[in-house]
């Protein structure tokens, strides 16, 4: 019995979570490794983003190496979560957000060029949402590899 070959999307999500070469045209390098072309890689990544399987394609920079960042949390009233999460996600400085089962139920990471910009972003979110943002700056950093093997179907 022949084992099925992983799809291009499965290979993209599994093989390129880390250690991508810093080159002028990274999608060409990925395409070469996958035996396809640059536009196909771009199209497949866009399809993964549209489907919600991938939220972001880009480098992860060690915190405070370039600019600054913080973890933030909000206590969002029941029934407002989707609207507030969308508002938070719409801010270009927000990397990601997630819901937690806690009084502070919406958590997100904000990156900015400097502390003043960071404070402006948090203030803007407070004004737009009408809710208080709790700023939780990093005191100690720990590296956690967030890459993981995904099963393909």
* pLDDT per position as a tens digit, 71-121: 999 999 999 999 999 999 999 999 889 999 999 999 999 999 999 999 999
What contacts 71, CB < 8 A, 6 or more positions away? 107, 108, 109, 136, 137, 138
Q: Domain-by-domain residue ranges, the chain?
A: 8-51, 68-136
pLDDT tens digits, 115-139: 999 999 999 999 999 999 999 998 8
CB 134 within 8 A of CB 74: yes
In this structure, which topology does domain 68-136 adopt according to CATH? Alpha-Beta Plaits (3.30.70)
**Average pLDDT of the segment spanning 58-65:** 70
């Amino acid at each position: 019995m022949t084992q099925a070959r992983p799809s291009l999307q499965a290979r993209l999500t599994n093989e390129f979570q880390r250690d991508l070469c810093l080159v002028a045209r990274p999608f060409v390098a990925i395409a070469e490794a996958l035996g396809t072309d640059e536009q196909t890689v771009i199209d497949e990544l866009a399809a993964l983003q549209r489907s919600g399987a991938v939220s972001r394609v880009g480098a992860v920079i060690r915190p405070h190496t370039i600019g600054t960042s913080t973890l933030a949390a909000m206590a969002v009233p029941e029934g407002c979560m989707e609207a507030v999460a969308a508002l938070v996600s719409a801010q270009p400085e927000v990397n990601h957000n997630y819901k937690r089962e806690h009084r502070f139920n919406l958590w997100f990471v904000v990156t900015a060029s400097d502390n003043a910009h960071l404070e402006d972003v948090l203030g803007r979110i407070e004004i737009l949402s009408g809710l208080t943002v709790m700023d939780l700056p990093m005191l100690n950093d720990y590296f956690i590899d967030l890459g993981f093997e995904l099963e393909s179907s």
